[in-house]
Amino acid sequence: MKTMTCRQFGGPCDLEHRGETADDVIKAHDQHLKDAENAGDATHFAARKEMKGRWLHPKKSMGWYREMKQTFAELPEG
């Protein structure tokens, strides 16, 4: 199990997301941004907007996705 924070994904806080795979952690972060937006947490609006916009540009989003997967792979287990 590995851990990444909201901030490591470009978000504004240090909430930790844990998972066995990079995809698990990315999905947890996406859900965190959705939940924060729905709760009216203005500090997360920019990160949520960026997340939504990222997927409108598939080539750019794949670069981000590969970068996050690489970051995850380099993390220690724990």
> For the segment 25-47, what is each residue's pLDDT rounded down to a tens digit?
999 999 999 999 999 999 999 99
Intervals of the chain under pLDDT 70: none
Q: Report whether 13 contacts 35 (CB < 8 A).
A: no
**Global confidence as pTM:** 0.86
Q: Which residues contact 4 (CB under 8 A, 6 or more apart)?
A: 16, 17, 25, 29, 68, 71, 72, 75
- Coil vs helix vs strand at 37: helix
The span from the CA of 27 to the CA of 35, in Å, is 12
pLDDT score, position 21: 96
pLDDT score, position 54: 81
pLDDT score, position 61: 86
pLDDT score, position 57: 82
Closest CA to 51 of 39, 36, 70, 71: 36
